[in-house]
Amino acid sequence: MLLTLAALLLAGAVYLAGEVITYPARERHQALRRASTYGRLRFQAASPERQRFSERVVAPAAGRLARLALRVDPRVTVESVGLRLLAAGMNRKLTPTTFLAAKAVLGGVGALFGLLIGVSFGPLGAIGLAGLFAAGGFMLPGVWISGKARRRRDEIRSELPDALDLLAVSVEAGLGFDGAVAKLTEHMEGSLAEEFSLTLGQMRIGESRQDALKKFAERVETPEVGTFTRAIIQADQLGISLGRILRLQANDTRLKRQAAAEEKAMKAPIKMLFPTVLFIFPAMFIVILGPAVMTLMKEFSG
């Protein structure tokens, strides 16, 4: 034990002595190496950035599904889908590729669901139900977007008279049309304000007022917006006062909104007739005639 401890201490002493003796030589060697490499730039290869899961897997899969959806329905293009999303106000939340991929995914889920339900009806029933549910799932996103676009158009039609009043007041106060639109976007919120903001942005980046208003009318396919844009374009071409044109347009759109509300009110009784006949009248007949029928059945059975 003592011999082992002595050997370890001797080895440590020899190591320390060697370090002390060779220290000046090692210092000179390091100084020479630093001097010889002074001024040289060492370029380190940049390691490739690791892509996120959505970029590596989700985006390519969505692209493939979108191409599959386009092959299933060749009439649809990416541009037409983009216009539909823009009309529905979903262009900031949903891309055309994502929309087409959702159609393909829902179509596949519908086919699988139809197969599971139709197994009990045999092979033909399973195939028929799979095709039916696949078609329904494939068409569901389009129906949803169409409903969003229709509700957005109705909202714009209801907001247009007040917006035209604000534009008329701003123009009569001395502002130009662009300034009046900017003032409108500051004081109003909603779908119409978003459309005016987009139109104003197009005019500010160098697009002519006529082209920007024509695109506005194409995005919002309503008669009121079309009439408004045509009136503004003609006023610019003929030099007519914008304030007077805007006042007339506001009154006209307000009358049209009132006529549309009256039309809906007149259609309400007809629409209420069907649920009344289907659900309320049968219940009333059962409550009123039920006791009499039961009494007659007892009399005839006795």
3-state helix, strand, coil in the chain (%, to 5): 85, 0, 15
Distance of CA 208 to the CA centre of its chain: 28
Q: Give pLDDT, residue 293.
A: 79
- Interval 89-143: pLDDT, tens: 887 778 888 888 888 888 888 888 888 887 777 778 788 888 888 888 888 988 9
Q: Give pLDDT, residue 218.
A: 84
Q: Give pLDDT, residue 158.
A: 84
Total count of residues recorded for the chain: 302
Q: Give pLDDT, residue 46.
A: 45
**CB distance 184 to 170 below 8 Å:** yes
Radius of gyration of the chain (CA): 38
Q: Which domains does the chain have, with CATH numbers?
A: 56-152 (no CATH), 154-263 (1.20.81)
Residues of the chain short of pLDDT 70, as ranges, are 1-20, 23, 28-29, 31-32, 34-51, 53-57, 302
Instruction: Tell me the HSE value of 157 on the side-chain side, using a 13 A CA sphere.
Output: 20
Cα–Cα distance, 109 to 103 (Å, whole number): 10
Residues in Cβ contact with 265 at an 8 Å cutoff, skipping those fewer than 6 apart: none
The pTM assigned to this predicted structure is 0.63
- Interval 157-177: pLDDT, tens: 888 888 888 888 888 888 888
Q: Give pLDDT, residue 108.
A: 87
Instruction: Tell me the HSE value of 18 on the side-chain side, using a 13 A CA sphere.
Output: 6
How many beta carbons lie within 10 A of that of residue 189, not counting itself? 10
Cα–Cα distance, 118 to 170 (Å, whole number): 64
Q: Give pLDDT, residue 45.
A: 46
Q: Give pLDDT, residue 3.
A: 55
